[in-house]
Structure 1
Amino acid sequence: MPLKLTLAPEEKIIVNGAVLTNAGSPATLTVLNQAQILRGKDILTEQDATSPATRVYYVVQCAYLFADHAADYLKAAASFLDDYATAAPSGAPIVSKIKQQLADGTVYQALRSAKKLLAHEKEVLAHVSHAAPTRL
């Protein structure tokens, strides 16, 4: 089944590791075969991978986009997922789901689940920042 993408002017996408930018008016593309595609809003740069959940998302993203190096990225993902589960046990169900999806080879689904991990981390950090300080 073809995938139809409508790109806004200057919107970026990654197709099989190549970064493409729509240089003109809104454009509609139809992808007729299997390809690894990420829209600009879903792309996380290495420089932005600064928290436990963003590091998970970044390496899963790389495993999805760069199949030639997926084994290295998946190894890093396993380590980052373990670290996340240790630091935030309430995220264990999401971590478990991502690990299962990676084991099943459904890397794009794992990437979608990693977005849920980003939301979980944001929620946990919001709770921590609103907590009353303790007295010494």
Structure 2
Amino acid sequence: MLRISLRDNEKIVINGAVLRSSGRTDIVVENEAAILRGRDVMAPEDADTPAKRLYFACMMAYLDPENLVQHQSHILTLFEQLIHALEAPEAKANCVAFARRVAACDFYRALTECRALIAYEAEALGRLLPADAA
């Protein structure tokens, strides 16, 4: 059983259906379901960096299990591109943790690992770009 408290007008995705709360709402989920809060959902147009594209592909695998093989293939392609571009040991460790979660089809926890990669990527890009270009 999972209890979720939503703020007024907060979005949540449950098994691919987008729901929006009307007022403060408590939801109790009593069986297995793919659930993401609105703040964890990424729009396709926001997947504009390698780590964000990996997050989006993983999110789709989590929310769309009927097309799991296609999503896993896409994740593998994106993962290979990203891990070869990373240099920092902690970022590579996050990639390995992400890959283990994906291999176990634990996409929800893989998304957590991917958020760490997005943060690392943003920090690395911030160091490369001049302050006025960011």
Query: TM-score when scaled to structure 1?
Result: 0.89
* CA-to-aligned-CA distance 1:25-76 (integer Å, 9 cap, x gap): 1111111111000001111011111110100000000101111011111111
Q: Which runs of 5+ in 2 are unaligned?
A: none
Which structure has the bigger radius of gyration?
1
- 1:134 maps to which residue? none
- 2:118 maps to which residue? 118
Secondary structure (helix, strand or coil) at the match of 2:129 reads helix
* CA-to-aligned-CA distance 1:58-98 (integer Å, 9 cap, x gap): 00001011110111111111111111112223222211111
Q: 1:8 corresponds to which letter in structure 2?
A: R
Tell me whether 1:17 sits opposite 2:16 in the alignment.
yes
- 1:99 maps to which residue? 99
- Off by >3 Å, runs of 4+ in structure 1: none
Secondary structure (helix, strand or coil) at the match of 1:35 reads coil
Query: TM-score when scaled to structure 2?
Result: 0.90
Q: 1:42 corresponds to which letter in structure 2?
A: D
Q: 1:61 corresponds to which letter in structure 2?
A: M
Aligned pair count reads 129
Give the root-mean-square deviation of aligned CA atoms: 1.4
Q: Which runs of 5+ in 1 are unaligned?
A: 132-136
Q: Tell me how far apart the structure 1 counterparts of residues 101 and 4 of structure 2 sit (CA, whole Å).
A: 25
Equivalent position to 2:82, from 81, 84, 90: 84
- 2:33 maps to which residue? 35
Q: Tell me how far apart the structure 2 counterparts of residues 124 and 74 of structure 1 sit (CA, whole Å).
A: 27
Q: Tell me how far apart the structure 1 counterparts of residues 46 and 52 of structure 2 sit (CA, whole Å).
A: 7
Q: 1:114 corresponds to which letter in structure 2?
A: C
Percent of residue pairs bearing the same amino acid type = 29
Q: 1:126 corresponds to which letter in structure 2?
A: G
1:105 Cα deviation (Å)? 2.0
